[in-house]
Structure 1
């Protein structure tokens, strides 16, 4: 049409299509290479110049082939038309005044004059952005173009509403107007473009992916090809091509060409993601449904949208990447409100709220719902171990909450969440709550949580002050503080009994039948009551069964961690170490503990205790090391005594007293001794002192344990066998009668229940302080009990003692049999210290038994005692080196004197060979 505009009549073509469909490219292709005769008058419309009167008409005549005179006349006419422009826009501007009609008539006469000489082409690109005055003049030209050699081409975008609807109406009424409608590319069209751009890189898979991402929009297809050219190679099937900057820029350009409304709609759809719909779009934009439908249709026309939302995640990412933060924040808040009103789940709504920086204005009634939604979403996220999301929700809720009590409650939730990784950091976050509770009215449940945190961190003075305030509140059955107080009192009695004495808890917490009114605290109440019962000397089978049921049902969460660990402790102290160990392994295997190192450390500590009580020394050492490395000493706070004690006892059992001593040199908080962990620590230190020949220091630690356990009414041998330890220390210093009395007392306590590990340990201790002829029978019973309960280390120790007992009595055959059993048990659990006691002297292995001259009739034990005595060692030193009592040394020497026919140690001859280095 442009090449042959003759025939004496005008022709009109309207080119339309969505943004990015190639309208301007098509126009450029048509104009490229056109040769005279054609006077081309062209204009490029722009949204930025839409308010300039006659801006488009001015562009048309700027390119007209006019002489100086006509050019000045046209300029004057354009000035007159612009000065008289009607400030109104829209359809009314098409009704021209006589002055406008006169100007338009003269301008059209100029066009007709040019057309008389040569055909005229009038081309207007993006006419949707033309100023209203120019459209009125162009419409005047269209009405008169039938008899003038003109070719008019108007490129009309789909995305804009007409500034002058009358212009479009008149074009549609004419039968001689030709329309060219550009649509999105088909798969063959996409493949053709990619083939031309990429050559051999194009594959059917790449074409398919391009169609999925771009929807066939030519602008986006070319951008896709650019990114493929500059990006890494795609997979063999052509899939997985990288979408980069070119594509993102093309999406932004396409949206900007589509108009401000379409751009905002695309941003809302990008935020809505899979939840997109016309209804939600309309609510978020606050526009009528028909407007939302129109905007969705416009975006579908560009290929950016499909169905009710954006076409592809790559489009969504491109839209969000080019959205300014301030704009995105406002849209996210609007989307959050829309989703809340539509009944979306709390986590979905909260994800939009937390994306906005700064607190929400909850004083505005439009946002009063936000804080509860955030807290609910945080709880769900924490339950699913999405800790960062939960923390973000709670942080925003805390910044947005208005009341002091609400803010304190949210801080408590935040602290619970942070305790997964660092209890001390969590407590520091709660410092404002501590100050608030110390000076203001407070919620008893929050105060109870704070008391727990303060005690565990070693801040006992603040905890005591808070307890005094809590103790002064009402405690009637209907008082809301009654249930939290009873539960706190019970927890204090089993965890920090040194502090519990200052709080008016039940006199015997394990005997209390008053449970919490709240169902949420029922699990904690049952677990704590079971532990209290076990520590008080009870703990029936029904309670143990309930503990196992709870471990079977519940997973580890902020709310269940404490009751589950209390239940595990009850199993350990009730001599159910194997059961506790199995449940520790199950809980440690839960994936949720990946983001909770503090939880893992607590469970590792319990697993180490259970493994040690089964004699599984390598497992105990591994879990104890994991517990101490999983949390810093500061995070363990006043509870470090338990894992530290387990590690010390494990090193001693493994024959590494130096490592145990190194652990005991670590500083520990004094407040640790107010709690159960302090008992474990004193007992472990006593065992170390006993192992390193300091029986008086060991006795002091054991007796201190006894005093505290009796004062705290938790005198259970399953917790700490202090009587057995004290009896061994007393035997070392020669107070055998007192030692027997303590062991008998412990056995009397244990006979009430089924024989377990604690009973076996007490029997082994009894054998050590009994007459030599009674020891084998007592140790045989101890070995049977320990074998039945599954403690391989204590079994090995009992068998080693039995070996020594039989040697003392000269029962060599029985001694060898016991030694073989002892060696197998010691090797199976890694008890190298016991193996050293069983190992024959170095000289015996070389054929030179380190015995005295003429002492062929002496047993191995008698030879060792006699050799050390001949070298000048005292009876006490000999007992320490051979790990036997002073009484046993004396009995050995009595038999040696009789066999060698001497009356004193000075008469003992020197040994033929050196004793083993381990004895020296």
Structure 2
């Protein structure tokens, strides 16, 4: 170890030695904290004395030899430097003294001390004698007596006695110190750890000035100047390949342990207590030490640079201490620490951190603390800690406790991996029959299609114990997602406007959302459904227990014809799920966002969000709900004309249990649309009919959920059965609510195509109005395409051209390539050119904003009256705008208006 500190102290020792050589005996008492350099200082003194021709006798006291009579003295007089004849004499004296101690200890000590002192004084006449004793605090009493006897008699002898001891150590005894320090020829030297500049000097000597500039401040911070620790950091630095910052490793951890083991016997216990508790506040209680003792030893550890402010300077130090403890003892220590914190009312999270690594957790207070801590962690979206807190007690306690703890664990894990949560719940259900009778496990099992037995057991429990509030909410939820299973459960009928629980509770949210969605699915909802749903959305915080209620609320808006109202809520929830690091939540709301996009005709958005939904969690994690994101993707790919990609999506396996849930309905419909688009008409008909059979059997025959009759009607038209198509679409029209503009418009489009050619335009125009109000751009493109073709077949060329152009641009905006391909035969080459290529851009710049908006709507097939209604102006004003537009653009009528006119650019829909 390179000596870079205590130069002043070494100079003092050198001066003392010089005086000894001239016959002035001296005693040096060197004290300091552990690893402060006293051993190095004593070694340097011994080397200097040897080089000067002195007889150097050395000894190191050891706690293991504290009871050995004259142990330290024996080491001194048996040193190789003792002349051979004198060595035998010393050996005989030690042996004789040890033998006679039992009879008369005082006499034996006096006799041995006098004889040894006489021999050493005689030896000092031939050459200076230096006695070096390190770790004096471990020396046996007999040796201390002899040393004191000698030191009292060396003032005029050529003898230097250098003693090294640990500061604040009480094992030597105050009497010895009192006698020693009153000697006029004794000098006390107190050592400290390296100051900051000393660490800089040491690191510079080892690594160079540049490395010292980077590392020395951190080294001093981590070690407090403890020489052993600084050298350990240097070793770790070399082992790690020279990182640019301090990196405590194996050597540092070992050095910490070495310091503690070289300290007071209580030091390791107190250090372990500090490592467990995180600070020294309750360390004495945990270690079972007296307050005064603890203060002294902890003070020593502060002086030695092990602790700072009652804490380890680096986590590696605490980790080293804990690793050195036998695992069982470590667990018990943490358990006692947890109990101490619990009894003084500490935060549950602090207590839980102690408990999770301890043993014997089967006590009521332990489970309570861990559950409370887990709930706090869950509120902070820390799933990892929830699992760590609850895992140890998931198999403890009575049945009810195990169900509650495992359900909470599954709820937390579901955020990240629903399939992991399902495995946990399934194991619980297998080990504990009542698990399937609890609402929490049943909800998880429903998601993964393992619910038949669970629902049956749940129904029996209701029969035996009555309908609880949780049970009532679950029954309503099952009716919304698993209508076939719902028949096994009682669904209570409450008078309108009544609630089973106070507003604002989670159960109330679950109950209300499920009740509203169930009413919507059955077509039994009124005009106030949007208000009721938005009250839920406004008052419900996203959480494990509210994900399903919130999705129910969004679906109720969509199926009631208010998809535009669902969109901002869905995006808000999707953003929150992302912020809270919950991939499963994100996946659920991404799937809903994709469905909203499909319903609004936003095919690129549907593709983006549907793909994201399937990427966020694995296919097995989706369980039976995988049908929803797949349906959106299949529909988007189909309408975009990407039939190979749609076919690949259909090749993805889906759970058989999905076909017994509502998630089968959009999947069957999407598969039917793909089959219809690829001329597999009978396969399409089979899919649409399958969806219809399920919906009618389940009592949720709602066209806005899945318009299976319209799908069948289009298929029947393809095979020439117009009568059957008309029958089906008429039946659908009777089921569509007048308030659901999008569903009504889509139904009118299909219905119009079952009528004679001359009867179609009025129906298709009404469909256009309804669809525009409903906001489905893809359906608008389709109905405009049908209207344009109808005008074309009726030889209304000018009108046909305008409507087809409008359909083309709407379809392009949706990326509906399939519709665009159908329209191409009815469009001129000029119509297909963008404005930049036709030279329209400069001409359009001549128009005012009002003229542009009017002309854009006119070019896309709107009548003057329709334009006036949309722009809130009079028909006369429309005519004036068009007249000026024709003059500026040098065209004769609306059929000649340029292709560059777009309603979206004009700021209108």
TM norm structure 2: 0.82
What do residues 380-420 of structure 1 show as CA deviations (whole Å, max 9, x unaligned)? 32333322222122211224x23233223222222223323
- CA distance in 2: counterparts of 1:459 and 1:208, whole angstroms: 61
Task: Assess if the C-alpha contact under 8 Å between 1:45 and 1:129 holds in 2.
Answer: yes
- CA distance in 2: counterparts of 1:327 and 1:437, whole angstroms: 33
Choose 39-48 or 541-550, whichever is displaced more. Answer: 541-550
Choose 183-192 or 308-317, whichever is displaced more. Answer: 308-317
Residue 393 of structure 1: aligned partner: 389
Residue 298 of structure 1: aligned partner: 300
- Structure 1 position 826, deviation (Å): 0.4
Residue 61 of structure 2: aligned partner: 45
Residue 332 of structure 1: aligned partner: 334
- Structure 1 position 802, deviation (Å): 0.3
Residue 143 of structure 2: aligned partner: 134
**Is 2:530 the counterpart of 1:515?**
no
- Structure 1 position 783, deviation (Å): 1.3
**Is 2:376 the counterpart of 1:374?**
no
Residue 489 of structure 1: aligned partner: 475
Unaligned runs of 5+ in 2: 1-15, 831-909
What do residues 658-715 of structure 1 show as CA deviations (whole Å, max 9, x unaligned)? 5444444555444323321122233334434444455555455444544443443323
Residue 264 of structure 1: aligned partner: 269
Task: Assess if the C-alpha contact under 8 Å between 1:605 and 1:643 holds in 2.
Answer: yes
Task: Assess if the C-alpha contact under 8 Å between 2:57 and 2:81 holds in 1.
Answer: no
Choose 6-15 or 126-135, whichever is displaced more. Answer: 6-15
Q: Summarize the alignment of residues 425-824 of structure 1 with structure 2, pairs less than 5 Å apart.
A: 425-436=420-431, 438=433, 447-475=438-466, 481-506=467-492, 513-516=498-501, 519-540=505-526, 542-552=528-538, 554=540, 556-590=542-576, 592=578, 596-693=582-679, 698-751=684-737, 753-824=738-809
What do residues 359-378 of structure 1 show as CA deviations (whole Å, max 9, x unaligned)? x3145xxx542222222222
Query: Of 830, 833, 837, which aligns to 2:815?
Result: 830
Query: Of 402, 406, 424, which aligns to 2:401?
Result: 406
- CA distance in 2: counterparts of 1:67 and 1:710, whole angstroms: 114
Task: Assess if the C-alpha contact under 8 Å between 1:575 and 1:757 holds in 2.
Answer: yes
Choose 6-15 or 636-645, whichever is displaced more. Answer: 6-15
Choose 733-742 or 557-566, whichever is displaced more. Answer: 733-742
- CA distance in 2: counterparts of 1:207 and 1:634, whole angstroms: 53
Q: Decide whether aligned partners of structure 1 residues 627 and 218 sit closer, same or farther in structure 2, where only a CA change above 3 A counts.
A: closer
Q: Decide whether aligned partners of structure 1 residues 306 and 497 sit closer, same or farther in structure 2, where only a CA change above 3 A counts.
A: same
**Is 2:133 the counterpart of 1:124?**
yes
Q: Decide whether aligned partners of structure 1 residues 281 and 464 sit closer, same or farther in structure 2, where only a CA change above 3 A counts.
A: closer
1:152 match: secondary structure: strand
Q: Decide whether aligned partners of structure 1 residues 220 and 612 sit closer, same or farther in structure 2, where only a CA change above 3 A counts.
A: same
Q: Decide whether aligned partners of structure 1 residues 156 and 462 sit closer, same or farther in structure 2, where only a CA change above 3 A counts.
A: same
Q: Summarize the alignment of residues 21-60 of structure 1 with structure 2, pairs less than 5 Å apart.
A: 21-34=36-49, 38-60=54-76
- CA distance in 1: counterparts of 2:658 and 2:84, whole angstroms: 103
- Structure 1 position 549, deviation (Å): 4.9
- CA distance in 2: counterparts of 1:443 and 1:675, whole angstroms: 19
TM norm structure 1: 0.81
- CA distance in 2: counterparts of 1:542 and 1:295, whole angstroms: 74
- Structure 1 position 163, deviation (Å): 4.2
- CA distance in 1: counterparts of 2:475 and 2:81, whole angstroms: 101
- Structure 1 position 184, deviation (Å): 2.5
- Structure 1 position 799, deviation (Å): 0.3
- CA distance in 2: counterparts of 1:42 and 1:686, whole angstroms: 97
- CA distance in 2: counterparts of 1:623 and 1:636, whole angstroms: 15
**Is 2:257 the counterpart of 1:252?**
yes
What do residues 63-106 of structure 1 show as CA deviations (whole Å, max 9, x unaligned)? 3866665543432221132234469xxxxxxx943233333332
Task: Assess if the C-alpha contact under 8 Å between 1:653 and 1:832 holds in 2.
Answer: yes
- CA distance in 1: counterparts of 2:673 and 2:72, whole angstroms: 99
What do residues 832-868 of structure 1 show as CA deviations (whole Å, max 9, x unaligned)? 11111101289x879xxxxxxxxxxxxxxxxxxxxxx
2:160 match: secondary structure: strand
Task: Assess if the C-alpha contact under 8 Å between 1:329 and 1:355 holds in 2.
Answer: yes
- Structure 1 position 764, deviation (Å): 0.9
What do residues 626-671 of structure 1 show as CA deviations (whole Å, max 9, x unaligned)? 3344444433333333233223322322223454444445554443
**Is 2:349 the counterpart of 1:347?**
yes
Task: Assess if the C-alpha contact under 8 Å between 1:464 and 1:499 holds in 2.
Answer: yes
- CA distance in 2: counterparts of 1:178 and 1:30, whole angstroms: 15
Residue 856 of structure 1: aligned partner: none
- CA distance in 2: counterparts of 1:64 and 1:455, whole angstroms: 85
1:426 match: secondary structure: helix
- Structure 1 position 323, deviation (Å): 6.0
- CA distance in 2: counterparts of 1:190 and 1:639, whole angstroms: 63
Q: Decide whether aligned partners of structure 1 residues 556 and 83 sit closer, same or farther in structure 2, where only a CA change above 3 A counts.
A: farther
**Is 2:166 the counterpart of 1:162?**
no
- CA distance in 1: counterparts of 2:578 and 2:325, whole angstroms: 35
- Structure 1 position 773, deviation (Å): 1.8
Unaligned runs of 5+ in 1: 88-94, 476-480, 847-920
- CA distance in 1: counterparts of 2:648 and 2:83, whole angstroms: 105
Q: Decide whether aligned partners of structure 1 residues 660 and 207 sit closer, same or farther in structure 2, where only a CA change above 3 A counts.
A: closer
Task: Assess if the C-alpha contact under 8 Å between 2:155 and 2:185 holds in 1.
Answer: no
- CA distance in 1: counterparts of 2:293 and 2:603, whole angstroms: 74
